[in-house]
Structure 1
Amino acid sequence: MLSLRPGRKLFGTAGRRFEVTKLFSEKATLQGSTDAIYITNVDGRRNNSPILLGLIDYLERTSASNVGFFQPVAESPYPHSTTGLPRHVELLHEALKLRREPKDMSAMTAQEAIKLLAVGNWNELLDRVITSYQDYKRGHDLVILEGITTGGAGLVNTMELNARIASSIGTPVMMALDARNDSTAESLVNSALIARQGLIRNQAKVMGIILNKLPHGDPAGLEADIRAGLKDVGLPVFGALPMDPLLSSVRLDEIKAVLGATLAYGPQNAALDSAASEVIVATGTVNELLSQLAACRGPCLVVTSQDRTDVLLAVAAMRLLGSPLPISGMLLTSAGSPRPEAAEAALRACYGGLEGSNHLPLPILSVDMPAYDALQAMSRASAAILPSSHAKIEHAKLLFERHVDAEALATELAAPQDQRLTPKMFMHQIMQQCLEKPQNIVLPEGMDKRVLAAAAEIAAKKLAKITILGKPDQISTEARRLGLDLSSCSIIDHTASPDLEKYVDALVEARKHKGLKPDQARDALGDPNTFGVMMVQTGDSDGMVSGAAHTTAATIRPALQVLRGPESPLVSSVFLMCLPHKVLVYGDCAVNVSPAADQLAQIAVTSADTARAFGLEPRVAMLSYSTGTSGSGPEVERVAEAVKIAKGMRPDLMLEGPIQYDAAVDPTIAAAKIKAPSDVAGQANVCIFPDLNTGNNTYKAVQQSTGAIAMGPIMQGFVKPVNDLSRGCTINDIINTVACTSMQSLGVKGER
C-alpha cells in the first residue's frame, strides 16, 4: 500500500545462484516428462508475478526454448488498462516477449466461469478450458498455467476450481503461499498442509510449494523451520521469496494506472518506473513545501492543483540547481483550478525551455479529480508489477534466481513421469479426432426424442455426419416441437429408399449360405436396424448406433449376420470407464455369458486392441477371485488357461493373471500381493472379467458408486462398427457412443 510515512531501508537479499543446465529437449516435445505446471496461490491472492516472471525467464534461458503461459480463467485487467487483457497475460507477454497472441492465453473470463458454476455446469467449463489449453499448448515445450484467484472469482471456491482444472488437464500443481508480517513457521506449515489436502481431495497432484513474501527479521531462519516442518510429510519446498522493498513499493506507473492519470509532461517510460514511497500535498507556500521535502526520507510524489504555477516553478528551479531533495514526480489535480488550460500553458512555459538539458524535469501526471479524491484512490493502491515496471521486472527475475531452487524444479519437470490420461483429456482427444475426420453415422431410431436431441447436438458441433432413419415429415414435425435443428442431418425413409434394391442384393449375397431369398431380404430391410447395418456393410455409412428403443438382440442380430469376418471369431464388448482420475477398459460386460478359456483369451486380445485404438497403452489384467497361485478351482484354472492362450496369441501384450481387481489397479495392494516384477499389477487399464455376471455387475457398481461415466457397450469383433445403447440412455450417452463409433471407424480405415 502507498504510505504517507517514510519508506523502509532496502532489505539485503544475499542468496545463491544455480548452475544452468539443458534439461529439456531442444524440440517442442517432452517425451515422458511433465510438459505443464499449474501454479496457484492457495491464499487466492494475485501475488504470483515474481514467481511467474522468474520461472518462465529461467526455463527459457536454461531448459526449454519455447515456454508458454495460460490462464484457464482470465483474471481482471490492470486498472485503467488500455488493452483490456488479463493482468498477468499482459505483463508476461510484454515483459518476456511470449510468442502467441495474448487472446490465446486464456479460456474464458471469470464472469463466464461464474455463470457456468452458478448452474453447476462443470462439464462445459472444463471442456472449454481443455479445448483452449490444448490449442494453445501446440508448439510449446512447456506451458505454465496460473490458477484463478479470489480477486477474479468472487464467491467461487477457488481451491476446488483450480484443483479440478489441474486434475482434468493432468498437470501437477505448484502451490504458492504468501506469508504475512505476523506469520510463524507453524502457521505457514499448517496452511500449506491444509491447502495440499484440499487439492488432493479434488484429485490434483501436488508437486511442491514456493513461499512468498517472508517477513523481515530472519527470513532464512523462517524458511529453514518451514522446510523442516514439511520435510517429514513429503511436501518439497522449492524456494522462499522474502518481502522485498522494491517489489512492495508503489511506483509512479502504478499510481498513473490506478488513477487513470495522463502524463502531462516528461519522459514516457524510464522516469515513471521510479518509487514514490511518500506523498507531499503542496497546499501551502513554497517555503512550507521546501520544509516538507527536507523531512522526506524516501522518494516522494508532490501533489498540487493545476493552477499552482508557483509550485511548478519551484520544482523546476530545484531541478535546474541540481537539488538533492528526493522528488520522483508531481501529480496535478483539478481542485482550485478554474482554468486548467491556463495551467497547461503555464506548464509549457515553465518547463518547455528545459527540453534536452541535463536537468530534464521529473514526470508530471495530471488527473481530472479533486486532490482529496485522488489521495483516497492512491491510498488504496497496492504495489504491483506492471508491463512498464522495468526495474521491478528485472529485480523479480533476480530475486527468483536467488531464492528458488529453479534447477531442482526444472529437474523435477524433466524427470520421467507416469503419463496420466484423465477422463476429460481422454474425451477431448476423442472429440478432436471426430472433429478432424467426421464419420457418417446412421441412427435408426428416428422417433426417439433423445436420439433426435443427440443428433442435433452432434451436427451442431460437427462431431459426425448424421443420417437418421424414419419418416422425414414425422421427424421434422417432432424436431420443431422439441426446438431442434436437424437441417444438417440426412433423414431417410428406409421403407421407400431408392437404395433399397441395392441393399436387398447385398443382404442376399451376405446371407446366401443361409439360402436367403430377395423377398425375405426385402422384408428384413423393413427393420431400421437391418437397413442401418446394410448401409454400413455397403459403405454408405461408417457405423451405426442403436438400442435406445430396441433390445440388444434386435440391435446386434443384423450385425452378427453380415458384419462378422474370418478374423472376427468372437463378438464381445467393452465399457470405457471414465473414473474421476483415470480411464479403464472393462470387458466383457454385455455379450458373452460364460466364455470358455479360448473365448476369454480372445476377449482379452480384442479388448487390448480396442484400448489402443482409443489412445491407451494396454496393460491387461485377467481377473479372478484369486491372485496368482493363491487359490484353486475350475474358475481360477479357466482364467489361468486363458492367460496362457492370450500370451501365445499376442506375446507383445503386457498381460497378467489370474489377478484380483484390487491388485490389478492399486499399486499399494499389488506390492503386497505380487512380489515378482510386473508391468501390469497395480497399473492395469484393461480389466477382463471371467463372466458376464461379474462384469456387468461390476461396471454398474463402479458407475453408481463413483459417478464414473461408462461409455458403452462398445462392440468388438465386427468388421465395421455397430454399437448398442441402453434403453435408459441419456442424450450424452448417445453422443459419446457416436463418438466412440467414429473412433472405431477411423481405426478400421487406418486413419487414426
Structure 2
Amino acid sequence: MATRIYITSAEGHTGKSTVALGVLEALTRTVGRVGVFRPVSRSADERDSILDLLRAHASVDLPYEECVGVSYDDVHADADAALGTIVSRFAAIERACDVVVIVGSDYTDVGTPTELSFNARVATNLGAPVLLVLGGRSPADGAARTPGEIAQVADVTTSELRALHAALLGVVVNRADPDALERTNEVVGRAIAAHHAGAPVWTIPEDAVLVAPTVRALLAATGATLIRGDESLLDREAMGTVIAGMSMENVLPRLIEGAIVVVAGDRNDVLIATVLAHASETFPSVAGVILIGGFEQLPQIQRLLEGLPSSLPIARTDLGTYDTALRITQTRGRLAVESPRKAQLALSLFEKHVDADVLQERLQVTPSQVVTPLMFERQLLDRARASRTRIVLPEGDDDRILTAAATLLQRDVCALTILGEPTTVRARASELGLDIEAAELVDPQHSPLRERFADEYARLRAHRGMTVELAHDTVADVSYFGTMMVQFGYADGMVSGAKHTTAHTIRPAFEIIKTRPGTSVVSSVFLMALADRVLVYGDCAVIPDPTSDQLADIAISSAETAAQFGIDPRVAMLSYSTGDSGTGADVDKVRQATAFVRERRPEMLVEGPIQYDAAADPTVAATKMPDSPVAGRATVFIFPDLNTGNNTYKAVQRSAGAVAIGPVLQGLRKPINDLSRGALVRDIVNTVAITAIQAATTDGTGASR
C-alpha cells in the first residue's frame, strides 16, 4: 500500500498548491515513485491547471484522467456516490506509486464547513493523514490576519477534522506576515494542541511575486493583443498597476517597478514617455503597457517606437479605463506549468520554512533503494547546497543563464558570479522578472582584477611569446576571465558554453588550470540517469581516439567522478569482445588499458575487455565471466573511442528515456564544465550543481578531499 498525504484547507486562496508542490519536491528526493491525485476537480470539461503543474513535478507519469476522482457537479449531485468513486479511482492510482500526494478541493464555491467536512471524509476513507493549509490572509479581501486570527481558524478547523476522525499530520500557515512568523507558529501551535497533540506547525511568509499575475494573464483578461515588444517578457509578473490617465509629467513619478501601465490609445506622449522611462537607468523597469480604447497607432508613432531601443511589451484592447482596471484587479496570480519562475520561488519558500525531514518522519516514508532521474537531480541540488561554493557564469548576456541563476539563487544552491556589464545584466534580468540581486556582477573590461590576471597569464604563457599587453586583451574575454577567477580562488568553479563553443570554454582551462598531478588528459563523462539507477559513461565528448595510457586515465578519472556523486565505481573497459575471446589492435588497446588501471589503482574494481551486455546484464555475465566482480554489475562504462561513446550515450538517452547529465569534465585541477549551446535552463542548473559538488569534493590540485 502506498504512503498517502492529504493536503487541504478550510477556505480558498490559501496557496495550497504551493505547499503541495513543496511536498512533492521533498518526497521525490528520497522516494522513487511519487504520484499525485485530485479527489475533486473543477469540472469534467475544464482541465485542472494545478493538477497539470503537480503532474509535471511528480516522478510517476500517469495520464491526467487517472489522477482525477470526480467533479464538483458529481459531489453536489450525490456526495456519497462521489466518495465511492474517489476511493475506487484512488485504489487504481496507488498501485503505481510508493507515495501519493492527494490535493483537496479548491473552494470554488463559497467556503463552508460542508466542503471541509467532505475533504475530511475523503482523507479518512483514503487512510491519508491531513496536512492542513491555513491562509495568512483573508480570502474575502486579502487583508493580513494577525497570529490570533489565524489561531482561531486553526482551532475551529482542527476541531472539525478531529470530529470527523481525520488524522492531522501537521499545519502549514501560508502567506503569513513575514514579521510575525515565530509568533504565528507559537500561537497556532497552542490552538491545535488541544485537538492534535504533537502536530507540528510551519509558517511560510507572504511573497508578492507568487500572488502577482503575469503580463500574459492580464492581456488575456483584458482581451488585449500584443502589437509590439518581446513576447518572452509576457511571463514577467505585474507587481502593480498604474492608470496613466493624466499628463506625461504626472505619470512619470507614479511609475513603479514591474507595473502594468494602462494608457489611453490616443495619448502618444504618455506612451513614448513610458517606453523611454523603461529604457532609462533612472526610472523603474515596468512590465508592460496596455493601450485602451482600441485606437490604431499612427504610422509616424509606429516608426518612432521602432527606432527606440526597447523590447517592452505593448498591447492594445478595445476596453475602456474602468473595464480594463476591473479585469486587471480581478486577475489573480497562480502557479501553473507555464510559470516556472513562480514554481521555483514556491519551492524555495517551502524549503526554507518547512522541515521536510520531520514531515517525512511523521509520514514514516521509507527511502527508496532505487535512484530515479528526479531523485538524482534533487540530490544534486541538496549536495550542492551543502557545499557552500561559488560558481562563475561568464555568459551574463544569455537569458537562459540569467533564468538558471535566479533559480539557483532562489533555491540557495550556491553563490554566483555573473560576468557582463552590470547595468545591462540587471536591466535584462529585471525585464525578465528575475531576481539576481544576490549574485556578484563583474565586468571583465573594467574590473580591477584584469591587470592581475593579465600579469599571471603572461607569466604562464611566456614560453609561447605572450606579453602583458597581449594578455591584457586576452583576459578580457569572458572565458579567460572566468577561468582566471577560478585559478585565483575568486570562484570555485566555472560553467560556460551556452553561447560559446566547447573549444572556447575549455581552451583557457587547458592553458591556465591544467591537468591534475598524475593525469595526462582532460576527459568527460555523462551521468546517465536511468529509470532506477545512475551510470557513468566516459569519454563521450573530448578525446576522439585515446591511447591505452589515455584510456586508463579516463577510467581512473571516471571512477573518481562516480564516487563524487555517490555511485559505487565498478569499471567496465568496453570492447567488441569479452575476456580472451577476441584479438586485434582495438581489443589489445583495451586489454592494455585495463592492465594499466590495475597497475595504477590495484584497489579499483575493473574488468576488460568486456562487451556491453556482459558488463550490464547479470544473465549474460553469468555465462561469459561468472567469477567477475564487475560483469553484470558495472556502473562505470569506458568506451574505446569517442565515436562509440558519443553514439551509445545518445542511443541510450533516446531509446531508454535516460536523462543524460553532462558532459562533466574531469582531470582538471579545478572544475570547469561545458554546456551544450542548446542547453535548457534545467541543464544549466544541473551542471552548476555538479560543478559545485566537484569543487567541494576536491582540493586545489584536483585530488579527492
With normalisation by structure 2, the TM-score equals 0.52
> Which residue is 1:596 aligned to?
547
Q: Does the CA-based 8 Å contact 1:525-1:531 persist in structure 2?
A: yes
> Which residue is 1:458 aligned to?
408
Say whether residues 1:475 and 2:425 are aligned partners: yes
Q: Does the CA-based 8 Å contact 1:469-1:494 persist in structure 2?
A: yes
Q: Does the CA-based 8 Å contact 2:36-2:58 persist in structure 1?
A: no
Q: Does the CA-based 8 Å contact 1:75-1:152 persist in structure 2?
A: no
> Which residue is 1:91 aligned to?
none
Aligned pair in 2 of structure 1 residues 751, 163: CA closer, same or farther (>3 Å)? farther
- Code of the aligned partner of 1:614: F
Q: Distance in 1 between the 2:7 and 2:682 partners?
A: 32
CA shift digits 1:104-126 (9 cap, x unpaired): x9x99965998687326445345
Q: How does 1:136-147 map to 2 (within 5 A)?
A: none
Q: How does 1:39-188 map to 2 (within 5 A)?
A: 39-40=1-2, 71=3, 73-74=5-6, 118-119=51-52, 121-122=54-55, 124-126=57-59, 163-165=96-98
Q: Distance in 2 between the 1:255 and 1:495 partners?
A: 63
> Which residue is 2:488 aligned to?
538
Q: Does the CA-based 8 Å contact 2:573-2:607 persist in structure 1?
A: yes
> Which residue is 1:502 aligned to?
452
CA shift digits 1:705-751 (9 cap, x unpaired): 22211111110111000000011110000000000000100011489
Secondary structure of 1:683 counterpart: coil
Say whether residues 1:434 and 2:434 are aligned partners: no
> Which residue is 1:646 aligned to?
597
- RMSD across aligned C-alpha pairs, in angstroms? 4.0
Aligned-residue sequence identity (percent) comes to 45
CA shift digits 1:168-191 (9 cap, x unpaired): 9xxxxxxxxxxxxxxxxxxxxxxx
Q: Distance in 1 between the 2:394 and 2:450 partners?
A: 15
Secondary structure of 1:458 counterpart: helix
> Which residue is 2:13 aligned to?
none
Q: Distance in 1 between the 2:384 and 2:600 partners?
A: 32
Say whether residues 1:730 and 2:680 are aligned partners: yes
Q: Distance in 1 between the 2:418 and 2:160 partners?
A: 61
- CA positional deviation for 1:256: 10
Q: Distance in 1 between the 2:8 and 2:426 partners?
A: 45
CA shift digits 1:611-667 (9 cap, x unpaired): 001111101011111111222221111111111111111111111111111211121
Q: Distance in 1 between the 2:530 and 2:453 partners?
A: 41
> Which residue is 2:373 aligned to?
423
Q: Distance in 2 between the 1:732 and 1:630 partners?
A: 44
Q: Does the CA-based 8 Å contact 1:579-1:706 persist in structure 2?
A: yes
Aligned pair in 2 of structure 1 residues 535, 454: CA closer, same or farther (>3 Å)? same
- Code of the aligned partner of 2:52: V
> Which residue is 2:139 aligned to?
none
Q: Does the CA-based 8 Å contact 2:519-2:553 persist in structure 1?
A: no
- Any stretches of 5+ residues in structure 1 without a counterpart? 1-38, 41-70, 80-104, 128-148, 169-252, 261-267, 270-412
CA shift digits 1:488-521 (9 cap, x unpaired): 1111111111111121122223323434211121
Q: Does the CA-based 8 Å contact 2:483-2:508 persist in structure 1?
A: yes
Higher relative contact order (CA 8 A, sep 6+): 1
Q: Does the CA-based 8 Å contact 1:572-1:717 persist in structure 2?
A: yes
CA shift digits 1:210-237 (9 cap, x unpaired): xxxxxxxxxxxxxxxxxxxxxxxxxxxx
Q: Distance in 1 between the 2:564 and 2:165 partners?
A: 58
- Any stretches of 5+ residues in structure 2 without a counterpart? 11-30, 42-47, 61-81, 102-158, 167-193, 196-364
CA shift digits 1:320-373 (9 cap, x unpaired): xxxxxxxxxxxxxxxxxxxxxxxxxxxxxxxxxxxxxxxxxxxxxxxxxxxxxx
Say whether residues 1:572 and 2:504 are aligned partners: no
Q: Does the CA-based 8 Å contact 1:73-1:108 persist in structure 2?
A: no
Q: Does the CA-based 8 Å contact 1:167-1:422 persist in structure 2?
A: no
> Which residue is 1:623 aligned to?
574
> Which residue is 1:669 aligned to?
620
Q: Distance in 2 between the 1:736 and 1:531 partners?
A: 23
Q: Distance in 2 between the 1:709 and 1:155 partners?
A: 34
CA shift digits 1:307-330 (9 cap, x unpaired): xxxxxxxxxxxxxxxxxxxxxxxx
> Which residue is 1:526 aligned to?
476
Q: Does the CA-based 8 Å contact 1:73-1:113 persist in structure 2?
A: no
Q: Distance in 1 between the 2:534 and 2:85 partners?
A: 32
Number of residues of Structure 1 aligned to a counterpart in Structure 2: 402
- Code of the aligned partner of 2:432: L
Aligned pair in 2 of structure 1 residues 660, 550: CA closer, same or farther (>3 Å)? same
Secondary structure of 1:678 counterpart: coil
Aligned pair in 2 of structure 1 residues 116, 679: CA closer, same or farther (>3 Å)? farther
Q: Distance in 1 between the 2:670 and 2:588 partners?
A: 34
Secondary structure of 1:573 counterpart: strand
> Which residue is 2:662 aligned to?
712
Q: Distance in 1 between the 2:395 and 2:670 partners?
A: 19
Q: Does the CA-based 8 Å contact 2:39-2:86 persist in structure 1?
A: no
- Code of the aligned partner of 1:669: V
Secondary structure of 1:715 counterpart: strand
Secondary structure of 1:467 counterpart: strand
Q: How does 1:155-554 map to 2 (within 5 A)?
A: 163-165=96-98, 257=163, 420-554=370-504
Q: Does the CA-based 8 Å contact 1:445-1:451 persist in structure 2?
A: yes
- Code of the aligned partner of 1:631: G
Residue number among 662, 668, 690 corresponding to 1:740 in the alignment: 690
CA shift digits 1:360-401 (9 cap, x unpaired): xxxxxxxxxxxxxxxxxxxxxxxxxxxxxxxxxxxxxxxxxx
Q: Distance in 1 between the 2:165 and 2:405 partners?
A: 53
- CA positional deviation for 1:418: 11
